[in-house]
Amino acid sequence: MTKNYLKLQFYSLPRNQAFARDAVAAFCLELNPSLSDLSDVKTAVSEAVTNCTVHAYKGNLGIVTVECEIEDDTLHIKVSDTGKGIADVNQAIQPFYTSAPSDERSGMGFTIMQTFMDEFKVNSIRGEGTVVYMSKSFKTEVENA
């Protein structure tokens, strides 16, 4: 059984978005993901971390925590912040819903996380923060079968 764990903590600076998604992608390489699975993970992490910068901390400096756990062929990812929280999670996860329409936001962040990952869950408490949990299984391809 394969088990591995990674925890990253960093400031909610926009330039850390690329760092976070690349670090998670590098971490899950041991699962031999296909390029398409790897790209899905990178995109989902980018969405979750961007939400922390743009919404949770609204441009103020805060701490973003990304935790990853590998369990057999599954990657679990938890992205958490201690920002302002989401008033209505059900509304926030609707495709094209955005709380900031004037900023050219697509409102597709949560939809992408949901579509690209196998499991997706959001817990949020107003004034305390948000936790996004996602997981994806990488089917091992049999070589020379």
Partner 1 sequence: MNVTGYLKDKVLHINLSGEMDECSSQEARTRCDKLIEDNLNVKKIVINLSEVEFMDSTGIGFLIGRYKKASRLGLPLFVSKPNFAADKILNLSGIYTLIPKAE
Question: Which residues lie near partner 1 (CB under 8 A)?
Answer: 14-15, 17-18, 21, 35-36, 39-40, 42-43, 46-47, 50, 53-54, 103-106, 108-109, 111-112, 115
| Residue 45, both tokens | 């992490």
Question: Based on CB atoms, which residue is closest to partner 1, 43 or 135?
Answer: 43
Active site residue 105: yes
Please name the residues in contact with 77: beta carbons below 8 A apart, sequence gap of 6 or more: 24, 41, 44, 45, 48, 66, 67, 68, 117, 133, 134, 135
Closest separation between CB of residue 140 and partner 1, Å?
21
Q: Which residue in 57, 63, 66 sits closest to 127, CA to CA? A: 57
Catalytic pick among 4, 51, 90, 144 = 51
Active site residue 104: no
Can you tell me the distance from the alpha carbon of 15 to that of 18, in angstroms, rounded to the nearest whole number?
A: 6
Question: Based on CB atoms, which residue is closest to partner 1, 100 or 125?
Answer: 100
Closest separation between CB of residue 3 and partner 1, Å?
29
Question: Based on CB atoms, which residue is closest to partner 1, 13 or 131?
Answer: 13
Please name the residues in contact with 134: beta carbons below 8 A apart, sequence gap of 6 or more: 44, 48, 76, 77, 78, 79, 113, 117, 119, 120, 121
CA of 2: how far to CAs of 64, 71, 120, in Å? 26, 6, 22
Catalytic pick among 69, 105, 119, 123 = 105
Question: Based on CB atoms, which residue is closest to partner 1, 39 or 65?
Answer: 39
Catalytic pick among 47, 69, 90, 126 = 47
Active site residue 21: no
> Catalytic residue positions?
47, 51, 105
